[in-house]
Amino acid sequence: MDSELRKLLKRNLEISKENNEMLHRLQSAMRWGRFFRIAYWVVIISLMFGAYYFIQPLVEQFGGDLSRGIENVKEVTNVIPSVENLLQGDTN
C-alpha cells in the first residue's frame, strides 16, 4: 500500500504543478488582454478627439451655414401664405 500511496501522491503533485503552470499562463493572458483592450479604447477615443480637432473648423462653418439656411427658410415661410389662407381666399 505504501508504494501505491507514493505513486498517487507523486501523480497528484505532477498534476498540481501542471495546473499551477496553466493558471499562471491564463493569468498572464488575462493581463495582456486587459492591457490591449484598454490600449484599444485609448487609441479609439484619442482618434475621435484628434479627428474632431482637425474637423472642428469645418463643423463650425457648416453649423453657421446651416443656421443661416434655417433663418432663410423661416423668412420664406413668413412671406408665403399658409394653406388655410389660400383655401379661405378661394371660397370668398
Q: 3-class DSSP state for residue 84?
A: helix
Asked if the model's pLDDT at residue 92 lies above 70, the reply is no
Angle subtended at Cα 4 by Cα 3 and Cα 9, rounded to the nearest 5 degrees: 95
Please give the Cα distance from 72 to 1 (Å, whole number): 99
Q: What's the pLDDT at 18?
A: 97
What is the tens place of the pLDDT at every residue in 52-75?
888 877 777 776 666 777 777 777
The band of 21, judged by pLDDT with boundaries at 50, 70 and 90, is very high
Q: What is the pLDDT of residue 67?
A: 73
Say what the pLDDT of residue 86 is: 66
Domain of 36, in residue numbers:
2-91
Given a cut of 70, is residue 48 above it in pLDDT? yes
Looking at the structure of the chain, the number of domains it has is 1
Buried b (16+ CB within 10 A) or exposed e, 5-37: eeeeeeeeeeeeeeeeeeeeeeeeeeeeeeeee
